[in-house]
Structure 1
Amino acid sequence: MLLTAGGGGRAAETVKSAEQFATGKGLIADRASLPGARIFAENCAFCHNGSVPKAPHLQWLEMLQPQAVVDAMTKGVMREQAAALSPDDKLRVAEYITRVDLRDGLPKISLPPMCKDGAAGFDRSRPVVAAGWGHDTRRYVAAAQAGLSADDLKRLELKWSYAFPNASKARSQPSIGLGAVFVGSEDGRVYAFDLKTGCAKWIYQAAGEVRTGVVLVDGPTPSVYFGDILGRLYAVDALTGKERWSKRLDEHPSATITATPLYHDGRIYAPVSSLEVVPAADPNYPCCTFRGSMVALDANDGREVWRFWAIPERPRLLGKTAAGADIYGPSGAPMWLSPTLDAARGLIYAGTGENYSSPADENSDSIFAIDIASGKRVWHRQTITGDAWNVACMMADNPNCPTEKGPDFDHSSSPLLVDLPGGKQLLLVGHKNGTVYALDPDKAGALLWQVKVGRGSIQGGVHFGMAVEGTTLYVPINDMNNLRDGKVMDAAAARPGMHAVDILAGKLLWSRVQANVCGSDRPFCDPGISAAVTALPGAVVAGHLDGHVRAYARKDGALLWDFDTVRDFVGVNGMHGRGGGMSGAGAAIGDGHVVINSGYGLYFHEPGNMLLVFGPADKAR
């Protein structure tokens, strides 16, 4: 759905906070007593409690925003099933599912002002910044594209901001080009903002949260490509915001698209992951039947060209748990990371996460080389063995926890294909266990060296993305301590912060372990770097979980710039918003600007709902 008008003024906003997500505090605790409980039981429960394979489980639905639930019943995929419900019934169902108090109706929102006159169009003379996920996973922006130097970073100031409505997290990687910034949001809106002023050139409404980056591709018909949390991939005209095509990539009820798709030579390569680890927490859930995949599609019409399955065989019934639930396997190996292109060898590199059920097989926690023409496996290399895990493992004596019980050390950070002097190349792979591996792409991924940079944790070690400039590899480390999952972490061994590795020698160059500036009044604040980092000549920019965005010098890691986003803002839409922890998406750098999202109200982190756009202080907005 395309929106062509924006709202103005300030609006009250109800968001689920990090504390609410982590502890339930602030949400409606006794969901069973709500009026929507009966309506859900009579009209929805049969399908959404596991009886219908394509219907998402309740534990998955409760992560949606109330507006998204209502929209699904009024104009979305559940329109026919909910036809007999009154508007108030639908509101009560949304209240029951999300546990957000809706007695006063849905939260009001304000959208950005729509661009007028010349600002409404796009400047085709301003290049697309084809660096980062979707184009080049090295996440290095050359000087001509960046429009900034390392010295410019010292003079950055906030030019404008936008407070995302209906959001407690902002994790879609922005893209810069054509005089605009393109970004997705938690309530499914995808925006094309004017880079200079923040007015909206167009707004598109997807079916669910757009967690992936928005990949901007120039050409005869400039387009943007992105996926949503419901597993649907979209192609939208970049100049008009009109949908070209959309397609759900996997019929599994828990399938989702979390990784930014890759564009190359008229095709889109989209990894498919899932949230089946969540319903597996129900002891009666038959765990598990999802298996990760990569889908190649024609970028023009969405036609499927090939599909690569991380686990070649379908899961089969293996037995029953002590609670009597069916056990299926092998399962899991979701694809969380944005794929890496190797055009010269005709390959795409992808990675997988853990298995969801026992037995753990040889396809979890692996790097795959996939033939770009056929989708066939060329080689694969498993980093660690015996990793099977789901959310049941975070609960005492839950029979759905696999016998391996983790450690849940996925590959969630894209491989980096980098050039060496003399024409050789390396494939650099970061892992949640805190290790960086250098693989030989000419010898089926043979290990050349490895270096332990961080301690590792369920949320990294290396979590969402490294960057490289020349022979310097930037390695962000999370090493979160307060996992609260029963595991005892060695806090003294944690190395949260920014690190640099010499890729020729496989040796650590420098480390900037970040001191904890959170304080006792911020229990969901951490010093580590979970988000992907972005490099430009002479520096790297990183968003931290403590809400600071920091820039470090390539030479020695000296701090060049530090901006604390955990503060109140008034966005161009007139809404009050606030920054928070940063995870997933990193900074977009291009056309003289640094654009970053702030807020990650999930998994024990601080919420926020801000898009922040920076430029040097002595340059006009």
Structure 2
Amino acid sequence: MIRKFTNLIVTVIISSLVVFGSTQANAKTSEEENAKAKLAAALTAMAQGSKGEVHPGEILYREHCAACHSKPFYKAPNKLFLSMLSPATLYKAMNEGPMRSQAEAIDAPGRVAIAEFLSGKKLGDAPERLLPPVCDARHRFDKDQPPVSVGWGVDLHHTRFQSEAAGGLSAENVSTLEVKWVFAYPNAYQARSEPVYGGGAIYVGSQDGTVWSLDARTGCLRWTYQATSEVRTGIVISQWDAHDAHVEPTIYFGDVLANVYAVDARNGKLRWKLRADDHPYATLTGTPTIYKERLYVPVSSLEVIAPANPQYECCSFRGALLALDAQSGRQLWKSYTTDKAPEPVGKNSVGATILAPSGAPVWSSPTVDKKRGFVYVATGENYSSPADGGSDALIAYDLKTGEKMWVSQQTRHDAWNVACYTGIPGLSSVSCPEENGFDFDFGSSPILATLENGRQVLVGGQKSGDVVGVDPDNGRTLWKTRVGRGGIQGGVHFGLANQGNSIYVPINDLVYPVDDVRYNYKMLPSPGVYSLNAENGKLLWSAPAPDVCGETPFCDRGVSQAITAIPGAVIAGHLDGRLRIYARKDGSVLWEMNMLREYESVSGEIARGGAFSGGGVLVAHGLLYVNAGYGYNNHIPGNALVVLGVRDSPNTL
């Protein structure tokens, strides 16, 4: 047992040296490198010198887990990344999290054994968690520091554009950005929750379910709140004006088990909590949107993974949008993306019932249109055949009633689930839908762009690589531009950005060998950042991502993270661990930083940068807050929140 545990530790250390050490912008001292080398050598000797039986968890892992987690597989984190988590987190994932379907055939002691094998720790051993210093009275909540954004999209139209007045950054002053302070997320291999600012603090979720309130200037700890499970959504904050004596600031967020939370922003006390959907695979990835005391909550699901088990009755989830009273959590209305509830339509070859229509999840934050009284969402694929008209679509609902006003479907017949994936030998394809679609979700929020002539267009980006502009009055397609090649991890992922007539487009376009056959590509992958004219969709400029990966493991060129615009520029985090800022006028790189390195954090724990994905940067009062690390889908892991500011400027607000 000891041998297996130490082998795993050696693997993590050596891999960390390769991933984080070989490309550091600021080299570590020779003493630090020597210390690491001695530690790795000692552990290697220990592993080689010890003998013991095969860990029972390893046997179960090989039987039930290795097919996906020991090979590159869509949506499955690599075994190395799982080893960075605590046994409690791994055990919870098998009991009530994303792996509960795959773990159904494993009894409780077996799940414990797998968790202990992967983590190298006993389930009852509580890991030491280093915390930042607690804030003193000088850093208490300040009601005279109101929010600089409403949440995910900066504004209700989800332009992801931060003004210089609120953000303090523009193309004119980003060239000397430098690190001011860093926070290390404990027990994490990814950092994807987009932070929000208010009251002199930032609020951000994390992989182990902790929501953190950190002083925006120093990183000292104001409070923490422990959610039931991982918080992937961004944080949204209620709005108030400076000097409002009656302010009761509240933050809202969701977790991977589809719980919605309202928490007092001043002290971390729970105001209310509810489950957004009772489906066992429901989850929340899209950040809620708050408007006029209503919280609009998008519901997605992990049921797309369940059909890997051919006995699973696929599928019964349907995407949804809820309107809740922000004060009490009371549900005001709930509308679905599919017009009909799933019902039996047949059986698969092993006799499991097929249900349809299903799926059409909402992965992104809803967009509010005050002028028309609409709220817009973008949907993903159906999970079973026959597909319906609500998948891969932009949909408008009435803000007050939830009535569906129009649907603009951009890809038809896209019924797909993990059983359709052919990259893993032995994976059952029994439950792959008859249509076997392309998995061309809309993963990013629609942008309601206001053109320089005053006209508006609703813009969406798809995993197909297409960007579409539709009439917000009726959903009629105005233009459609193919920017990327697309694919399972291709096209647009988490978020476009908009400034005036410019639509900034991040393209991921990862290459999977099985995709070449499946998609019959007619173009080369096009990872990078692009700019389109919002009026007609014409390409203004392109900035292909350079290939700087070399031999770095798990490195890719693509841009998966939601991007953010500031006056004259757009900020984009790449999967290669580089944060780049591009000029609005021509796409030239104004500034970049390699974050594949280690940082000393405010808690004293080592923070490691990694790939960028999920939530984008927060820009507030001259500081830029960015999460670095994304071990999901086999990208470079990390656990860092890095705070940047202009050189020689104080890290003050």
User: Is this contact kept in 2: 1:131–1:139, CA < 8 A?
Assistant: no
Matched, 1:100 2:130: no
Separation in structure 2 between the aligned mates of residue 327 and residue 70 of structure 1, nearest angstrom: 30
The amino acid of 1:112's aligned partner reads L
Alignment of 1:178-577 (within 5 A): 178-219=199-240, 220-395=247-422, 398-442=429-473, 444-482=474-512, 487=518, 490=521, 493-519=524-550, 521-577=551-607
**What is the CA distance between 1:559 and its match in structure 2?**
0.6
Could you say if the C-alpha distance between residues 154 and 132 of structure 1 is closer, same or farther in structure 2, counting changes exceeding 3 Å? farther
Separation in structure 1 between the aligned mates of residue 647 and residue 258 of structure 2, nearest angstrom: 41
Secondary structure at the counterpart of residue 154 of structure 1: helix
Separation in structure 2 between the aligned mates of residue 284 and residue 77 of structure 1, nearest angstrom: 19
Secondary structure at the counterpart of residue 176 of structure 1: strand
User: Is this contact kept in 2: 1:31–1:99, CA < 8 A?
Assistant: no
Matched, 1:605 2:635: yes
**Corresponding residue number in structure 2 for 1:143:** 164
Separation in structure 1 between the aligned mates of residue 529 and residue 179 of structure 2, nearest angstrom: 23
- Which segment drifts farther, 318-327 or 250-259? 318-327
User: Is this contact kept in 2: 1:479–1:495, CA < 8 A?
Assistant: yes
Could you say if the C-alpha distance between residues 391 and 453 of structure 1 is closer, same or farther in structure 2, counting changes exceeding 3 Å? same
Separation in structure 2 between the aligned mates of residue 104 and residue 377 of structure 1, nearest angstrom: 51
Could you say if the C-alpha distance between residues 428 and 115 of structure 1 is closer, same or farther in structure 2, counting changes exceeding 3 Å? same
The amino acid of 1:67's aligned partner reads A
Separation in structure 1 between the aligned mates of residue 546 and residue 170 of structure 2, nearest angstrom: 27
Separation in structure 1 between the aligned mates of residue 291 and residue 538 of structure 2, nearest angstrom: 33
Secondary structure at the counterpart of residue 100 of structure 1: helix
- Which segment drifts farther, 507-516 or 99-108? 99-108
Separation in structure 2 between the aligned mates of residue 289 and residue 322 of structure 1, nearest angstrom: 18
Could you say if the C-alpha distance between residues 497 and 98 of structure 1 is closer, same or farther in structure 2, counting changes exceeding 3 Å? farther
User: Is this contact kept in 1: 2:152–2:235, CA < 8 A?
Assistant: no
**What is the CA distance between 1:97 and its match in structure 2?**
5.4
TM-score in terms of structure 2 length: 0.81
The amino acid of 1:507's aligned partner reads K
Could you say if the C-alpha distance between residues 173 and 367 of structure 1 is closer, same or farther in structure 2, counting changes exceeding 3 Å? same
Separation in structure 2 between the aligned mates of residue 228 and residue 31 of structure 1, nearest angstrom: 36
The amino acid of 1:583's aligned partner reads S
- Which segment drifts farther, 262-271 or 560-569? 560-569
Separation in structure 2 between the aligned mates of residue 348 and residue 94 of structure 1, nearest angstrom: 44
**What is the CA distance between 1:452 and its match in structure 2?**
1.5
Could you say if the C-alpha distance between residues 100 and 185 of structure 1 is closer, same or farther in structure 2, counting changes exceeding 3 Å? same
TM-score in terms of structure 1 length: 0.85
**What is the CA distance between 1:421 and its match in structure 2?**
3.5
Separation in structure 2 between the aligned mates of residue 12 and residue 122 of structure 1, nearest angstrom: 44
**Corresponding residue number in structure 2 for 1:51:** none
**Corresponding residue number in structure 2 for 1:21:** none
**What is the CA distance between 1:448 and its match in structure 2?**
1.2
Secondary structure at the counterpart of residue 170 of structure 1: coil
- Which segment drifts farther, 126-135 or 264-273? 126-135
- Which segment drifts farther, 369-378 or 121-130? 121-130
Matched, 1:174 2:192: no
**What is the CA distance between 1:118 and its match in structure 2?**
2.7
Matched, 1:34 2:57: yes
Could you say if the C-alpha distance between residues 265 and 91 of structure 1 is closer, same or farther in structure 2, counting changes exceeding 3 Å? farther
The amino acid of 1:610's aligned partner reads A
Matched, 1:116 2:116: no
User: Is this contact kept in 1: 2:188–2:638, CA < 8 A?
Assistant: yes
**What is the CA distance between 1:320 and its match in structure 2?**
1.2
User: Is this contact kept in 2: 1:581–1:600, CA < 8 A?
Assistant: yes
- Which segment drifts farther, 203-212 or 104-113? 104-113
**Corresponding residue number in structure 2 for 1:22:** none
- Which segment drifts farther, 451-460 or 104-113? 104-113
The amino acid of 1:222's aligned partner reads P
- For structure 1, the 5+ residue unaligned runs are 1-10, 19-29, 42-61, 79-88
**What is the CA distance between 1:34 and its match in structure 2?**
3.2
Deviations 1:512-534 (A, max 9, x none): 00121101x22421111011000
Separation in structure 2 between the aligned mates of residue 522 and residue 77 of structure 1, nearest angstrom: 34
Separation in structure 2 between the aligned mates of residue 490 and residue 72 of structure 1, nearest angstrom: 36
The amino acid of 1:127's aligned partner reads P
- For structure 2, the 5+ residue unaligned runs are 1-8, 17-52, 65-81, 98-106, 241-246
Could you say if the C-alpha distance between residues 314 and 536 of structure 1 is closer, same or farther in structure 2, counting changes exceeding 3 Å? same
Deviations 1:170-228 (A, max 9, x none): 11011122211111000000001111111111111001000000112234210100000
Secondary structure at the counterpart of residue 118 of structure 2: coil
